[in-house]
């Protein structure tokens, strides 16, 4: 969601801040701002709209001199997008400037108290209370003020704070919102995402909750809330900066769709040794797996759709009951979770607020937590008993593609791993699964060759007002993701249904010309889905069928997309590819902002 960048060094800060914020545009935002200390005063510039507006307003940063500063891209929660509501926020005296990611849940009580003390508010945001709290508590020591502020605020936050009394340093802290420190030579950084600073450094500190960071150009010190210095381990980012660039593609989304064979291979290869799946970072023993009462898969959005696939394959292979739950619902449904349960939390960023809070609920109930995440050192990874990293590399487009596919791959491997431990599959079946898994990247690459046909189909249907996706079992799980991809980037109303459920009400919406995308890839349920297709064609629907080379939809569907035949368990990795491409090409036909769809953010770090 919101993005934070901070810089201190010998170079002019504003151009570096703007450059960093540009790398964070993919996270989703509606306004931007920077604040820089110069000659003992804080100069803040803010603007509603795209970062280009702020760059023009500041002459690409040249009009805001100074070597210490903070920057922010805002995704509105409290208060509409506007110049006034943009960050950074200043205290009444102008002594403090604050950027903030997250939500301050008790801001209204704090605001009323501060107003009673004579403080004046100019914005509608929750963040402004933080700037005034610093002013209220400051007695000459910025560290003491920080400790008092974080003791008073409730909620989630990553904060970067300038104080005009400290022109040669600035301070930062985090709680349940991502923040990292970049370590340079004669310069140091903070950022909410490593992509913002990767041009300048690959050496970083991952900051834990309630760790306070004091940065100067030559030093970084980290403290706990007792003002005790904390020793941090330097981590080095090992992926190349080009991975976060478009590399000649028109959009990050199509680049990341094309990267899926490579990403899947990167997920599989380190974990296959001598024909066996080796999960070195997973401490689940054979006895642990045999003792499981139930598995919960908890996630949001596309990660939740991976969980729906996971439910089908784990139950089929391992014969353990699985419940897939939306993280925001899991938090508040008083779930029946015990110490004999495994909770699998899936999150690309590892910082998804609802998923992180659901994880805490699971831990409070005594459950074991295994997370599937992409970002090393993220909050969810750190809070889990076990973690499996997807190794997908940076994903910049808001609409996930390769993160989804690598999460699916991890789910396959985990299912096979557990089934082997439980002896619910034979040694022959195990070997076949491994053989088929190794072929998966090539099968995905083959499926991607069908782009031209899908672009043509998108050109025929981009003017649709409503589109329905149907499928059964794994096809239904993939339908959920296909529908989401379409709606989030093309803004076409779209819904996914289990094919057998369509006739229980929703079929009333089918009329002449309604597009129904029907997935029928599985052998066992192909004929059943064909019957559902006939139900909608009888009522005037136009059907786009998606099936494998083993089946024919001639005379059944008006148009057909064919994917390679494969092990049924791995078909979701193939069938999702045409749906990702369809959503992309429809959005391109409509001229939508594909990488930064309206109202959406890449990493949802607020409730």
406-424 CB burial, b ≥16 within 10 A, e <16: bbbbbbbbbbbbbbbbbee
Whether the CB-CB separation of 399 and 488 falls below 8 Å is answered with yes
Q: Which of 479, 497, 466, 492 is nearest to 584 (CA)?
A: 492
Whether the CB-CB separation of 396 and 244 falls below 8 Å is answered with yes
493-523 CB burial, b ≥16 within 10 A, e <16: ebbbbbbeebeeeebeebeeebbbbbbbbbe
Q: Of these residues, 2, 163, 318, 592, which one is catalytic?
A: 2
Instruction: State yes or no: is 2 an active-site residue.
Output: yes
Pairing of strands 294-299, 341-347: parallel
| Cα 325 from Cα 302, distance rounded (Å) | 13
| Cα 409 from Cα 146, distance rounded (Å) | 43
**What are the angstrom distances between the C-alpha of 455 and each of 318, 464, 581?**
39, 15, 8
Q: Of these residues, 23, 55, 485, 602, which one is catalytic?
A: 602
Name the DSSP letter for residue 147: H
**What are the angstrom distances between the C-alpha of 404 and each of 80, 220, 257, 264?**
32, 36, 10, 10
Whether the CB-CB separation of 568 and 544 falls below 8 Å is answered with no
Q: Which of 26, 160, 11 is nearest to 100 (CA)?
A: 160
Pairing of strands 493-498, 466-471: parallel
Copy the structure tokens of residue 442: 């090539």
Q: Which of 18, 27, 23, 87 is nearest to 59 (CA)?
A: 18
Q: Which sign does the torsion angle of CA 565, 568, 574, 575 carry?
A: positive
Q: Write the CB contacts of 52 (distance below 8 Å, at least 6 apart in sequence).
A: none
The rounded radius of gyration (Å) of the Cα atoms in the chain is 25
Which residues belong to the active site?
Answer: 2, 602
């Amino acid at each position: 969601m919101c993005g934070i960048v901070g810089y201190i060094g010998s170079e002019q800060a504003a151009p570096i801040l703007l450059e960093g914020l540009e790398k964070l545009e993919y996270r989703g935002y509606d306004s931007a701002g920077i604040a820089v200390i110069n000659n003992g005063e804080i100069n803040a510039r803010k603007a509603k709209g795209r970062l280009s507006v702020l760059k023009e307003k500041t002459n690409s940063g040249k009009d805001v001199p100074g070597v210490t500063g903070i920057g922010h891209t805002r995704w509105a929660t409290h208060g509409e997008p506007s110049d006034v509501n943009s960050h950074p926020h200043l205290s009444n005296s102008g002594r403090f400037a604050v950027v903030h990611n997250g939500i301050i849940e008790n801001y209204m009580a704090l605001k009323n108290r501060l107003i009673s003390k004579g403080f004046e508010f100019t914005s509608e945001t929750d963040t402004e209370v933080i700037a005034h709290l610093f002013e209220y508590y400051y007695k000459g020591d910025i560290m003491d003020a920080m400790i008092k502020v974080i003791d008073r605020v409730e909620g989630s936050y990553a904060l970067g704070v300038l104080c005009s009394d400290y022109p040669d340093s600035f301070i930062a802290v985090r709680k349940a919102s991502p923040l990292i420190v970049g370590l340079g030579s004669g310069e140091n950084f903070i950022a909410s995402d490593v992509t913002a600073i990767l041009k300048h450094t690959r050496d970083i500190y991952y900051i834990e909750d309630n760790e306070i960071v004091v940065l100067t150009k030559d030093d970084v010190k980290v403290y706990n809330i007792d003002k005790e210095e904390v020793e941090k381990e330097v981590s080095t980012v090992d992926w190349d900066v080009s991975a976060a660039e478009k590399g000649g593609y028109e959009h990050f989304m199509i680049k990341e769709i094309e990267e899926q064979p490579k990403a899947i291979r990167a997920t599989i290869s380190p974990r296959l040794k001598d024909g066996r799946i080796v999960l070195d970072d997973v401490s689940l023993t054979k006895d642990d797996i045999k003792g499981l009462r139930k598995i919960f898969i908890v996630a949001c959005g596309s990660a939740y759709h991976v969980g729906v696939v996971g439910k089908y394959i784990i139950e089929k292979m391992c014969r353990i009951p699985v419940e897939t739950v939306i993280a925001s619902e899991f938090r508040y449904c008083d779930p029946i979770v015990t110490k004999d349960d495994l909770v699998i939390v899936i999150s690309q960023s590892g910082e998804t607020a609802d998923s992180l809070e659901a994880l805490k609920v699971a831990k409070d109930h005594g459950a074991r937590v295994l997370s599937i995440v992409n970002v090393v050192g993220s909050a969810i990874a750190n809070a889990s008993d076990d973690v499996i990293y997807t190794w997908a590399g940076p994903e910049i487009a808001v609409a996930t593609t390769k993160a989804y596919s690598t999460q699916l791959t991890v789910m396959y491997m985990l299912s096979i791993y557990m089934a082997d431990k439980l002896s619910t599959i034979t040694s022959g079946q195990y070997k076949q699964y491994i053989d088929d898994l190794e072929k998966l990247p090539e099968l995905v690459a083959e499926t991607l060759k069908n782009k031209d046909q899908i672009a043509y189909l998108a050109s025929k249907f981009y003017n649709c007002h409503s589109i329905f996706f149907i499928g059964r079992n794994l096809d239904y799980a993939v339908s959920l993701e296909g529908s989401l991809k379409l709606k989030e980037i093309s803004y076409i109303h779209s819904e996914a249904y289990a094919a057998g459920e369509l006739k229980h009400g929703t079929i009333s919406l089918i009329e002449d010309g309604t597009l129904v995308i029907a997935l029928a890839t599985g052998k066992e349920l192909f004929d059943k889905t064909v019957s559902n297709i006939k139900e909608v064609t009888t009522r005037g629907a136009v059907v786009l069928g998606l099936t494998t080379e083993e089946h024919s939809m001639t005379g059944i569907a008006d148009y057909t997309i064919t994917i390679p035949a494969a092990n049924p368990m791995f078909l979701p990795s193939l069938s999702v590819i045409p749906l990702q491409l369809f959503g992309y090409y429809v959005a391109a036909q409509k001229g939508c902002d594909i990488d930064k769809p309206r109202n959406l953010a890449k990493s949802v770090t607020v409730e």
